Amino acid sequence: MKPPAFAYHAPRTTDEALATLGELGDDAKVLAGGQSLVPLLNMRLAAPAALVDLAHLDGLDAIEVSDDRVRVEARVTHERLRRHPAATDAVPLLREALDWVAHPVIRNRGTALGSIVHADPAAELPAVLSLLGGQVELATSGGTRTAAADDYLLGPLESDTRPGELATALVLPRPGVRTGAAFDELSRRHGDYALAGVAVTVTLDADLAVATARAAFIGVGATPVRVDLTDSLSGQAHDALAPADAVGLARDVIEPTDDIHATADYRRHLAGVLLERALTTAAGRAAAGGTA
């Protein structure tokens, strides 16, 4: 199928993009990498009157790494971020999560921030943003605001991106010392959206026992489902985890549903298996000194 007709705007500067989005309001959609929006247009599941394409903007393409955070602007593709040593050394979970995102062709066009705005419940980066307590920066021609991940990710394919707004950057805090992370998922074919997946961070104390443990699941709820596992795991030695309680807790909290790919029961079981593996990996990485 072909997309419905739309007006096409190709601003050259961020100010021009914000002015255009402000004028068009609800009628416009931002076109970033197009890897989610174009299929939706072609299937006629979206029919905006106008597209505002970021491809020709001069700017919004920086990756900034500082002592306390990594900031990724709107035009940075998945693949560019995945291959950015300073960013992925600062937040190694980013690289592991991005390894699971789609295929190289899609990663070369799709943007990291676009995936967060798009808010697919099975997408990897929204879970990373939620787990690490990241933020999204947004702008209109009238000003800017910052939204915390949990306030921003509202539901399936629903983020708090308001008419006239452009999401300009995602911000991830750098994890603290003795923190390890891992991402694991299962999909029917590598590169497909996951049937279920999980991102985990484990922080150890000075004796290398678990101080805190957290998980964010994908594919088993309307948004990434964050679960604090600290009570179930704290005090356990990093190399002798007994994760049964944590797995039980997580399986109780998540809310998977049946679809043509898998039953809810299968997803619940799978989520627990993936969690157990990811916890072991993350604890080992934390003990080895890795910072998530």
Ligand X SMILES: Cc1cc2nc3c(=O)[nH]c(=O)nc-3n(C[C@H](O)[C@H](O)[C@H](O)COP(=O)(O)OP(=O)(O)OC[C@H]3O[C@@H](n4cnc5c(N)ncnc54)[C@H](O)[C@@H]3O)c2cc1C
Residue 134's alpha-carbon distances to 85, 159, 171, 244, 254, in angstroms, are 20, 14, 5, 29, 21
Q: How far is the CB of 288 from ligand X (least distance, A)?
A: 28
Q: How far is the CB of 239 from ligand X (least distance, A)?
A: 32
Q: How far is the CB of 117 from ligand X (least distance, A)?
A: 4
Residue placing its CB nearer to ligand X in the complex, 167 or 241: 167
Residue placing its CB nearer to ligand X in the complex, 185 or 276: 185
Residue placing its CB nearer to ligand X in the complex, 81 or 211: 81
Q: Which of 226, 230, 237 is closest to 271 using CA atoms?
A: 226
Q: How far is the CB of 133 from ligand X (least distance, A)?
A: 19
Q: Which of 32, 219, 27 is closest to 122 using CA atoms?
A: 219
DSSP string, 28-80: EEEESS-TTHHHHHHTTS---SEEEE-TT-SS---EEE-SSEEEEETT-BHHH
Q: How far is the CB of 91 from ligand X (least distance, A)?
A: 17
Interface with ligand X (CB under 6 A): 29-37, 39, 74, 101-102, 106, 110-111, 113-115, 117-118, 123-125, 161, 166-167, 193
Residue placing its CB nearer to ligand X in the complex, 102 or 286: 102
Q: Is there a contact between 35 and 110 (Cβ–Cβ < 8 Å)? A: yes
CB atoms within 10 A of CB 258: 11
Residue placing its CB nearer to ligand X in the complex, 41 or 249: 41
Residue found under tokens 């992925």: 88
Residue found under tokens 């948004």: 223
Main-chain dihedrals φ then ψ at residue 147, nearest 5 degrees: -120, 135
Using CB atoms, what's the residue nearest to ligand X? 110
Q: What angle do helix axes 244-253 and 264-287 make, rounded to 10 degrees? A: 140
**Edge-to-edge strand list for the sheet holding 50-53:** 7-9, 50-53, 28-31
Q: How far is the CB of 281 from ligand X (least distance, A)?
A: 20
Q: What token pair was written down for 143? A: 């000003």
Residue placing its CB nearer to ligand X in the complex, 116 or 246: 116
Residue placing its CB nearer to ligand X in the complex, 118 or 238: 118
Q: How far is the CB of 266 from ligand X (least distance, A)?
A: 19
Q: How far is the CB of 69 from ligand X (least distance, A)?
A: 19
Residue found under tokens 């997408």: 123
- CA-CA distance, 66 to 73, in Å (whole number)? 14
Main-chain dihedrals φ then ψ at residue 119, nearest 5 degrees: 60, 45
